[in-house]
Structures are given as C-alpha cells and as structure tokens.
Structure 1
Amino acid sequence: QAQVAEAQARAAAAAQAKADAEIALAKERKAREDMERRLAEQEAKEKAEKEAAAQAAHEKAAQEQAEKEKAEKEKAAKAAAEKAAADKAAKEKADKEKADKAAAAQAAKEKAEKEKADKEKAEKAAAAEKAAAEKAAADKAAKEKAAKEKAAKEAEAKRQALLAAMRGDALEAAGIPNGNADRNQRGGGGNDGYAAKVRACVQPRVVFNPPQQNGSANPTATFRVRLQSSGQVQGADLTRSSGNPRFDDAIQKGILACSPFPKPPGGKYPSYIDVDYRMYD
C-alpha cells in the first residue's frame, strides 16, 4: 500500500509536474505570443507612423511644390503684367514723342512758311516802295524833262508850224499819204516839237520798272497808232517788238491811255502815227 501510495504520489507529482510544465509552456507561449503581438503591433505602429510621416512629407512636398508653382506662376503673371505695362508705357511714350516730333515739325514748317511769307511780303513791299520811288523819280524827271523840252521847243514848234503852213506842209501832217515820213521818230514830228508832246503824254502812262541796263543795249518797240479825226486813239499795233513782251505791253497800254493824242502843229490829226519807244530814254 505504501508502495502504491508512493507510486501514486509519484504519479500525481509527475502529473502535477507535467501540468505545471504545460502551464509554464502555456504561459511561456502566451508570453511569447504577447511579445510577438506587441512587437507586431509596435512594428505596425511604427510602419503606420512611418507611412503617415512619409505621406505627410509627400503631402508637404506636394503642397510646397504647388505653392512654389503658384508663386512662380504669380511671379510670371506679375512679370508679364509689368512687361505689358512697360511695353504700353514705352509705346505711349514713343507715340507721344512721335506726336511731339510731328507737332514740332509742323510748327517749324508753319514758322518757316510764315517767315518766308513775311520775308516775301517785306521784299514785295520793299520792291513796291522802291518801284514807287523809282516811278515817282522817273515821273518827276520826265515831267521836268518834258517841261524843259516843252519850254525849249514851243517856240520852235510855232515857227515850224508857221513854216509848214507857208509851204503847204500842213496837209502832209494831216495824214495825206507819206505825210508821216518825217514824223516816225519817238512819236512823230521831225523838228516841230510834236514828238516831245507825244512823249510827254505817253511816258507817264507807261508802268514798267526796267532792269539794269546791260551795256549800251536799249530795246526799242515801234507801234503804229491809229487815230480818229478827233485825236482819240483807235488802236496801237506793234510793228516791231523790243524783245520784251512785258515792256511792249506796258508801252501799248501807255499809248492807249494817251487819248486823245496831242494836237499836231498843223491842227489836223493824221490817220496814223508811228511811235518809237526806247527802254532807257
């Protein structure tokens, strides 16, 4: 019995030892599983934290890239706007400078044209004043000359008229064919003073400012003046030109303005008189 009891005790102790060993193994396994679980959880946590950190870093990098791109875009837009504003300002400045230059050129042109017009006006006024002075001097000289010639020749004209009447030449001077043969110089009249009367009548009515004389040249125009019986000028025909149309026209106007013609010494007007007019006499 004692042996049985001892065997039973040993069996119970072995069973208890086995049970304790199994419990210890179970505890150890459980501890190991807990450790593995905690390690797994720790790894998972760390992995999650790492992934979260990586995600956060990625998002931060993406946000920073987006902000950088946005800043660059805004910078580019600002630069483009500034360039556009600068281009616009440059264009407006260029347009203004162009307009100012055109206005200045127009003003300069108008000023030059005004100065030219003023100069031409002044020159014309000076020329007109000079021409008037020259004409006045010429008229005065002509009048003085005519007065002297008239005073000197009146007696001679009276004497010649008396002689012509005595010779019967009065009819020749009246216009009978060849009656003008000795009256074809400077308005007719040989030595009877009639030429001076014609000159005194025609010269003041010739409006012409002769150019400076070139040497001894003295252009001469010849007109045949057709007269009515009353002495009125019927026409003045140019028979020989002086070579200067303006001079010829001025003489013709002066002859036509001298109407009626001075009365001839014979008392009767011829049908025509040949008039020579020299530019520098």
Structure 2
Amino acid sequence: MLKTRVISAIVGLPLIIGVLLFGGNLLYLFVFLLSVTGLYEYYKAFSNTDYKPISWVGYLITIIYYILIYFNLINHINFSILIFIALLLVFLDTIKREYNIINAAITTLGIIYVPLLFSSIIFIYNDVNGKILVWLPFLTAWFSDTGAYFIGSYFGKKKLCPLLSPKKTVEGALGGIAISALLSALVGAVFNNMDYEMSIIHFVIIGLICGLTSIIGDLFASSIKRFSHLKDYSNLIPGHGGILDRFDSILFTAPTVYTYVIIIKNFL
C-alpha cells in the first residue's frame, strides 16, 4: 500500500505542479475535471444509502457554471440565477415518487460542495497576484495534513473527533495548523523580497485559517463516507482513493484563501 501511495505521489505531484505553473486554460481544464469527477464520486457515494441524488441536474449546472467562468460571465446575479434554476429542476423532480426533499437537498449540496468550492482555485489565479496565491490552498492543505499526521503519531493523546476520524488527535491538529502557518509565512517572506504587496502577517493569518479549514474539510468528507459506509470515494488514485479523498482539504482551503484576499482588498 505504501509503495502504491508513493508511486501515485511521484506521478501526481509533478502533474499538479505543472498545472499550477502553466495556469491559464490548463488550470481551468484541470479544475473542471476535478469538479466533474468529484461530483460523480459524491453522488455515487449515496448509492449505498436509501437516497437518490438527482445527479443529472448537478452535472448540468456544473457545466453551465464553468462555461460562465470561462467566458468571464459569472457574477453574483448569474450565480443566483443558476442556483435558482438548480432548485427548480430538483424540486420538479421531487414530484416523482422515487424522489423526496432529502434527495433535492443532497443534490444541491453537491453543487455547492464540489464545483463551487473547487472553482475558487480559478478565481484565486485570475485575481491580482493569483499566480503566487494559487499555491497556498495546496501547500497549506498538504503540509497541514502531513504535519498533523506525524505530530499526532508521536505526541497525540486526545482524540479530535473519534466518530468521524479515529486516528486524528487534538495535538496533531494543532501541530498541523502551526505548520500550515509557518509554511505560509515562508511563502510570504519569499515573495515579499520580490516587492509583493501583501504583508507577511496576512500570510501567517491565511496559514492559520487554512490549517483549521483543512481539518474541517477532511472531517466533512469523512462524515459523508461514514454515512455512506465507504472507505474511499473511489480507486481513481491508487493508494489514495478518489478525488474527494485526496482533495477534500483543498476544497476548503481554496475558498479560504480567496475569501481572505477579497476581504483584504475590499475592507482593509
């Protein structure tokens, strides 16, 4: 298993690094594929339950959403209309006997949880200094997770959330958050020497918040798997599971970075 995980990482990491370096249409395509695949895994997870997400609505809205993003047509008005259309479609389908309001809720949550949160990566990249900031969701999530694992393995005593993730500890979580903040500070220090406009203290704050939201993202994905009686969402990435297994933390760190940057730009 460890050998398989290492091989997958050796293949996968250069791919992600290359996508982030080249950006542009390649990054857009990458995020779109993550969204569609992740949404498929999310809906498929509920096939182990008594609920039936209206998956075609989710895929349709996702495709329209990314078309609007690609042509720079997405704004709060268009997005509100899109969500309204999604709600109309899922509620119309609840008229059928095999669907109910819970199916509609699961379907709508999937649209928000996967394609919407993943799209934050594109919004970060397209914003001012986005080519720098787009690395933070990935680096903070990866290093927070790795730091939490090792610190928890050696020093962990108090369980963080045993019902969802028995191996996670409070000590590991705190260590992961600290490492996320340290890494983010180092990134800020490097780019501040290149006349980057954001103070290093903001990088530290982003790192702290991302360390926390990374844990929340992991636990959220675990809660769905536990509810659906799954170990992994899929076997797409050998040794790592599916897209939602590998990118569950990034789903939460990406909107964290984007939201913080928007707040700084507009209010500070």
Return the TM-score normalized by structure 2.
0.24
Q: Looking at secondary structure, tell me which structure has more helix per residue.
A: 2
Larger Rg belongs to: 1
Q: Which has the higher contact order (CA 8 A, sep 6+)?
A: 2
